[in-house]
Amino acid sequence: MAEIELREVPLFSEMDEQEVNEIRTIMDEVRFKAGQIIIREGEIGDLFYIVTAGHAHVIIQDADGQEVVLHEVHPGGFFGELSMLTSEPRSARVKAVDNLTTLVLERDEFYDFLRKRPSAAIDVLIELGGRLHENDQILRRMVSRNVNEVDQERLTLGQKIADAVADTMGSWRFIIIQSSALALWICFNVTAWINHWDPYPFILLNLMLSFQAAYAAPFIMMSQNRQSAKDRLAAEIDHQVNTKAELEVGLILKHLDDLDQRVERHQQEIKKLLAPPHA
């Protein structure tokens, strides 16, 4: 199996040859079998993986509990970088789709490398910023679905016909055309211009209108039932959005609490440094 060049990995593509060679020396090769779980959501991880052969899926769960493939990682791709850098729990699950070969980098070694190479640290920040923006856009599209688009995808032929009939009969155009046709029908049968095919009390006309009402009512009911289903779908999507917002607010509060604790610790350290020495 030919080893992939690190410069083909987006994270290291802007590094010079010396930087790439240096970081390669601190990496270990790790293999995984097809179907093996590499990273589990919620666990604390300090490893960063670069795929050199095979491919893996980065999987999350949406608000419905359904699995969604967030990324498909091919040779040259990488995963696990965000949790490794932030020391936060893993936010997704990674599974090997087929036999997978990776290069693994530990947090402490990577930190030492970045401290020695500020230019490489800037490259890492640029790449990670792009990945975070991409993930944010995917999550927004996944959760905040357009109700009209989802409803349109689910429509059957019968529902489309029912909607078309209901929309037509509920329009001014239909009322004007039908009123004009009824007026002409009555006038032609009252006057002596032509032979009376439906004399007063217009039994044939009443029969036709009865047929129209008998068929119109089911069409309208079908359309109303579909509208009720659409309203339930809108409520479900609103619930998903609210759930996502609640989770995001919780994460923000957690980060704020962590920042507050760090600031407090730093203030205590500064006070100790500034305190006059004891006699």
Q: What is the pLDDT of residues 143-157, one digit of tens each?
A: 555 666 666 777 778
Rounded distance between C-alpha atoms, residue 124 and residue 111, angstroms: 11
Spell out the domain ranges in the chain: 6-143, 147-274
C-beta of residue 87 within 8 angstroms of C-beta of residue 110: no
The confidence band for 64, taking pLDDT boundaries of 50, 70 and 90, is: low
What is the average per-residue pLDDT within 245-271? 73
pTM, full prediction:
0.47
User: To which residue do tokens 């429509």 refer?
Assistant: 155
Q: What's the pLDDT score for residue 32?
A: 92
Q: Considering only residues 252 and 27, tell me which one the structure prediction assigns the higher pLDDT.
A: 27
Res 193: pLDDT: 62
* Residue pointed to by tokens 């052969």: 53
pLDDT at 146 (0 to 100): 62
Mean per-residue pLDDT for 182-192?
A: 81
The mean pLDDT of 161-172, rounded to a whole number, is: 82
Q: Which amino acid is at 247?
A: L
Mean pLDDT of the chain: 77
Q: What is the pLDDT of residue 169?
A: 82
Give me the pLDDT at residue 149, please: 66
CA angle (98 as vertex; 133, 102 as ends), nearest 5: 60
CA distance 70 to 136: 11
Are the beta carbons of 83 and 91 closer than 8 angstroms?
Answer: yes
* 147, two tokens: 């109700």
Per-residue pLDDT band for 1 (boundaries 50, 70, 90) equals: very low
CB 96 within 8 A of CB 79: no
Tell me which residue has tokens 């579909």: 226
Q: In whole angstroms, what is the distance from residue 190 CA to residue 196 CA?
A: 8
Cα 182 to Cα 176: distance, rounded to the nearest angstrom: 10
Rounded percentage of the chain residues whose pLDDT exceeds 70: 76
pLDDT value of residue 65? 61
CB 39 within 8 A of CB 90: yes
More confident residue, 180 or 22: 180
Residues 6 or more apart in contact with residue 262 via CB below 8 angstroms? none
CATH number of 6-143: 2.60.120.10
Q: Cβ–Cβ contacts within 10 Å for residue 83, how many?
A: 21
Which letter does DSSP use for residue 278 in this model?
P
CA 105 to CA 270: how far, in whole Å? 34
